[in-house]
Amino acid sequence: MDSINIVWFRRNLRISDNQCLYRALRATKKIVCLFIFDTSILSKLQPGPERRVSFIYDAVERLKREFRAMGSELLVYHGNPAVIWQRIVAEYAIDTVFYDVDYEKYSVQRDAEIELLFDSAGIRTGVVHDHVIFHPETVNKDDGSPYSVFTPYSRKWMQRFVERPPSEFDSETGLAGSLLPMQAMPMPSFESLGFEYCEYATAESAIRLEIFDNYHQLRDRPDVDGTSRLSAALRFGILSPRKLVMLASQRSPAFLNELIWRDFYQMILFHFPHVEQGPFKPAYASIEWINNEFHFERWCRGETGYPLVDAAMHQLNETGWMHNRCRMITASFLCKHLLTDWRWGEAYFASKLTDFETASNNGGWQWAAGSGCDAVPYFRIFNPELQRKKFDPIGNYVKQWNVKTHTTPLVEHEFARRRCLETYKKALYGSQ
């Protein structure tokens, strides 16, 4: 039996500009493509309506249809990847498995375990870094060490970009003829994954070109439709980041800058994996959080008494997406006004966002708490009412999410600001 190559789809749920497929195409063996619904990840989610899993399911189904149209299949499994790979290795004669690297702790451990299996079976691996524009080790300081501040990182990133702009990988020409012909195989039903299907209204996957025109002016306004809403499509690789970066570089420097933030946080996770567990800056580990559970629940439900915070939490709970400005304000409010450990908020966002991405979510939360690389200084504390007046001046955003203003805010702003400063100072400098 001739050996085959396998492309293991994980994040990059697309056929075009897919580096794994591109490399498999050049390896001249027949290609089998597969995807695994990983029970180690799914078992940590709450049963019931699940937006993110619904989004992934639809993307996988779409891919399956595309492979079927080419006379082949996307094999879809549901289970523990290590166990499933044992079965696949026993079933096929495999030369090489191609996949895209993921920098999250769980994925690194999973891949290390499965690579041992590949090794013992004499299977080669073709590993690519396709989720980001530049590999985290290629945008470094001149002495080779990683950056921890965004602005110099972004300058070096731009320098590389100008010298060697990324080009798309032609992963489509000749693909149909290179795939192993296969019969249609069933996909696990959505219910068998253990969740209820849920609409994800605010996740875009098509680039709206008009967004680029006014992005620099509108990107901070939650009351207008001024951002791309492409975050979930980028997170799961339905859209190629290379394609978007090339467009942004021609049309909107402000938009390009946000995509560099995306690479930046992936780079931070790659070089400083401890951020998944605790603060980037160790001094912030000694902050004495109050962690009032009642206050946390009110924040989750959007009942803090601050209309912008509450509107944003309603938007998150009802749609699975929240505007970036509001992510910053709600995160700051939880950490600084309510003195709640940022990891509680990080976990809540992770459970609700369709676009949840460990690197960006963690980066955003540590930025708001002040504990991250290049974070907002601890003494800068957003005033939620001033933020509302500035970024929702007519009140349309608060009205849209139909927030009833509670007469008594959970905490009074000036009191909360002083309490936060004292608590942070005590942790950072040991005195009040």
**CA 332 – CA 377 distance, rounded (Å):** 11
**Would you count residue 219 as binding ligand FAD (CB under 6 A)?**
yes
Find the binder of ligand FAD among 11, 23, 52, 235 (CB under 6 A).
235
Binding segment for ligand FAD among 27-35, 279-287, 348-356, 387-395 (CB under 6 A)? 348-356
- The residues annotated with a catalytic role in the active site are 258, 261, 289, 324, 342, 365
Q: Packing angle between helix 293-301 and helix 342-352, nearest 10 degrees?
A: 30
How is residue 192 written in tokens? 């068998």
**CA 408 – CA 392 distance, rounded (Å):** 21
Considering the complex, state which of residue 119 and residue 225 has its C-beta at the smaller distance from ligand FAD.
225
Find the binder of ligand FAD among 23, 64, 221, 327 (CB under 6 A).
327
**Would you count residue 356 as binding ligand FAD (CB under 6 A)?**
yes
Binding segment for ligand FAD among 41-49, 135-143, 320-328, 389-397 (CB under 6 A)? 320-328
Residue 302 in contact with residue 333, Cβ under 8 Å?
Answer: no
**Would you count residue 5 as binding ligand FAD (CB under 6 A)?**
no
**Would you count residue 133 as binding ligand FAD (CB under 6 A)?**
no
The torsion angles phi and psi of 196, rounded to 5 degrees, stand at -100, 140
3-class secondary structure for 203-219? CCCCCCCHHHHHHHHHC
**CA 352 – CA 419 distance, rounded (Å):** 29
**CA 64 – CA 215 distance, rounded (Å):** 35
The helix/strand/coil state of 347 is helix
Task: Give the contact letters, 237-276, x = binds to ligand FAD (CB under 6 A), - = no.
Answer: ---------------------xx-xx--x-----------
How is residue 126 written in tokens? 């073709």
**CA 50 – CA 63 distance, rounded (Å):** 20
- Any bridge partners for residue 366, and if so which? none
**Would you count residue 343 as binding ligand FAD (CB under 6 A)?**
no
**CA 153 – CA 29 distance, rounded (Å):** 40
User: What minimum distance in Å lies between the beta carbon of 231 and ligand FAD?
Assistant: 3
Binding segment for ligand FAD among 47-55, 164-172, 278-286, 361-369 (CB under 6 A)? 361-369
Strand pairing of 195-196 and 48-49? Answer: parallel
Neighbouring residues of 76: CB distance < 8 A, sequence distance ≥ 6: 34, 35, 36, 37, 60, 64, 185, 187, 188
User: What minimum distance in Å lies between the beta carbon of 356 and ligand FAD?
Assistant: 4
User: What minimum distance in Å lies between the beta carbon of 22 and ligand FAD?
Assistant: 23
The helix/strand/coil state of 179 is strand
How is residue 213 written in tokens? 């025109």
Considering the complex, state which of residue 146 and residue 188 has its C-beta at the smaller distance from ligand FAD.
146
Find the binder of ligand FAD among 21, 308, 313, 353 (CB under 6 A).
353
Considering the complex, state which of residue 19 and residue 315 has its C-beta at the smaller distance from ligand FAD.
315
**Would you count residue 374 as binding ligand FAD (CB under 6 A)?**
no
Binding segment for ligand FAD among 40-48, 147-155, 321-329, 380-388 (CB under 6 A)? 321-329
Considering the complex, state which of residue 31 and residue 234 has its C-beta at the smaller distance from ligand FAD.
234
- Any bridge partners for residue 77, and if so which? 36
Residue 98 in contact with residue 126, Cβ under 8 Å?
Answer: yes
Binding segment for ligand FAD among 170-178, 275-283, 359-367, 409-417 (CB under 6 A)? 359-367
**CA 280 – CA 367 distance, rounded (Å):** 10
How is residue 217 written in tokens? 């002016």
Binding segment for ligand FAD among 19-27, 152-160, 187-195, 323-331 (CB under 6 A)? 323-331
Find the binder of ligand FAD among 102, 104, 111, 355 (CB under 6 A).
355
Considering the complex, state which of residue 187 and residue 230 has its C-beta at the smaller distance from ligand FAD.
230
Considering the complex, state which of residue 72 and residue 361 has its C-beta at the smaller distance from ligand FAD.
361
Considering the complex, state which of residue 51 and residue 262 has its C-beta at the smaller distance from ligand FAD.
262
List helix spans (H) across 164-304. Answer: 175-178, 210-218, 231-235, 241-251, 253-271, 293-301
**Would you count residue 227 as binding ligand FAD (CB under 6 A)?**
yes
Binding residues for ligand FAD (CB under 6 A):
219, 227-231, 234-235, 258-259, 261-262, 265, 324, 327-328, 331, 349, 353, 355-357, 360-361, 363-365, 368
